[in-house]
Amino acid sequence: MIARRSPAQIEKIARAGEIVAGCLEMMRSRCRAGVTTAALDAAAEEYIRRRGGVPTCKGYRGFPASICASPNEVVVHGIPGEYTLAEGDILSLDVGVTLAGWVADAALTVAVGDPGRQASRLMEVTAGALAEGIKRFRAGNHLGDISAAVQRHVEKNGFSVVRTLVGHGIGRQMHEEPQIPNYGSPGEGPRLEEGMVFAIEPMVNAGGEKVTVGKDKWAVSTADGSLSAHFEHTVALTADGPRILTAGDAAGQEGLDSASMLW
Ligand code: MF3
Ligand code: CO
């Protein structure tokens, strides 16, 4: 069963989403050479709690931190620690916030200085794939329309989508039904209806799609050591179409037409 939320409930998720967006923005501004991912995590936890939120990831299935920090070839679920950012790195940051019993979740990949042409293109294509997926989140469409749009955008640009990790419904819990793969066929899967709230999150590798899990049992990395990027928004399907609940002030709904306006 895919939950459908009322406009008032969607507003509550949007309040959690504002904290998520602000937290990502705050961390983005701190991403420079010499900063550890543990320092970003500490700043994020303080940011979230000062606003009355709870970092959803902390303690989730035993995850030890408030954010996931995944540098370079790490796809997702990197545990923050002593890793020190260096010029030319890319870093994926993923944050979930619970506020008054409602959850929002978003992620982005940040460059530290100039990461080079391939990494820049990878980030742009991944953000673009998210924008393409969000555009298909419309009443009457099917879940497969979102998945297929994401996959198409990634593959036509020569990159690959990770298949073993998916987006998800969100609301009372961080992970609710349905699972939202980043590959699929148009017209397949459940019909999309007003009130559904999804976390859409393409994870895109510069090389092959295969991934491995690290010794810490959390960090997921590309099997071939290639770079990976991750962009995610919590999005509600409203009477006016898709509404991004984690965009912050940087983007209004105009952002739907342009990946560069999503953040
Ligand atoms: N936001 C991530 C997701 O949607 C979850 C990270 S929290 C963790 O999968 F605890 F699972 F790492
Ligand atoms: Co998510």
Q: Residue 133's pLDDT band (boundaries 50, 70, 90)?
A: very high
The residue that leads in pLDDT, 261 or 26, is 26
Name the residue of 95, 174, 218, 230 to mutate for ligand 1: max ligand atoms within 8 A of Cβ.
174
Distance 94 CA to ligand 1 centre (A): 7
Task: Give the pLDDT score at 217.
Answer: 98
Task: Give the pLDDT score at 257.
Answer: 46
Cα gap 83→93, rounded to integer Å: 14
240 part of a folded domain: yes
Share of the chain above pLDDT 70, in %: 94
CB-based contacts of 50, cutoff 8 Å, min separation 6 = none
User: By the 8 A CB rule, do 209 and 222 touch?
Assistant: no
160 part of a folded domain: yes
Task: Give the pLDDT score at 248.
Answer: 81
Cα gap 69→94, rounded to integer Å: 7
Crossing angle for the helix pair 7-30 and 37-50, to the nearest 10 degrees: 140
109 part of a folded domain: yes
Tell me: pLDDT of 262 over 90.
Answer: no
Task: Give the pLDDT score at 242.
Answer: 98
Extended beta strands in 16-81, E state? 54-55, 67-71, 74-76
Task: Give the pLDDT score at 253.
Answer: 43
Query: pLDDT digits over 36-87, tens only?
Result: 999 999 999 999 999 999 999 999 999 999 999 999 999 999 999 999 999 9
The C-alpha torsion from 28 through 29 and 35 to 37, rounded to 10°, is: -30
Q: Residue 257: how many CA atoms within 13 Å on its side-chain side?
A: 1
Instruction: Please compute the mean of the pLDDT values over residues 150-155 and round it to a whole number.
Output: 98
Tell me: pLDDT of 12 over 70.
Answer: yes
Cα gap 147→152, rounded to integer Å: 9
Cα gap 104→95, rounded to integer Å: 8
Distance 116 CA to ligand 2 centre (A): 27
1 part of a folded domain: no
Distance, C-alpha 40 to centroid of its chain? 17
36 part of a folded domain: yes
2 part of a folded domain: no
- Considering every ligand atom shown, identify the ligand nearest to the alpha carbon of residue 64 and give its number: 1
Q: Is the dihedral of CA 19, 25, 31, 32 positive or negative?
A: negative
Distance 57 CA to ligand 1 centre (A): 6
Distance, C-alpha 196 to centroid of its chain? 17
Task: Give the residue whose CA is nearest to atom 2 of ligand 1.
Answer: 94
Instruction: Please give all residues whose beta carbon lies within 6 A of any atom in ligand 1, as ranges.
Output: 57, 60, 63, 68, 77, 94, 96, 105, 199
242 part of a folded domain: yes
Distance 33 CA to ligand 1 centre (A): 25
Q: Which of 96, 135, 74 is nearest to 262 (CA)?
A: 135
Unique residue bearing structure tokens 């990634």 = 154
Question: How many independent structural domains does the chain possess?
Answer: 1
Name the residue of 60, 173, 233 to mutate for ligand 1: max ligand atoms within 8 A of Cβ.
60
Q: Residue 229's pLDDT band (boundaries 50, 70, 90)?
A: very high
User: By the 8 A CB rule, do 102 and 9 touch?
Assistant: yes
pTM beyond 0.85: the answer is yes
Give whole-number Cα distances, 5 to 11, 172, 225, 237, in Å: 10, 10, 41, 9
Query: pLDDT digits over 180-220, tens only?
Result: 999 999 999 999 999 999 999 999 999 999 999 999 999 99
Domain that holds residue 103: 7-261
Q: Which of 151, 227, 144, 131 is nearest to 179 (CA)?
A: 144
Q: Element (H or E) spanning 121, and its range?
A: helix 117-135
Average pLDDT of the chain? 95
Q: Peptide bond before 115: cis, by omega within 30 degrees of 0?
A: no
Query: pLDDT digits over 233-249, tens only?
Result: 999 999 999 999 999 86
Task: Give the pLDDT score at 250.
Answer: 53
CATH label of the domain that carries residue 247: 3.90.230.10
- Considering every ligand atom shown, identify the ligand nearest to the alpha carbon of residue 57 and give its number: 1
10 Å CB burial of residue 58 (0-12, 13-18, 19+) is middle
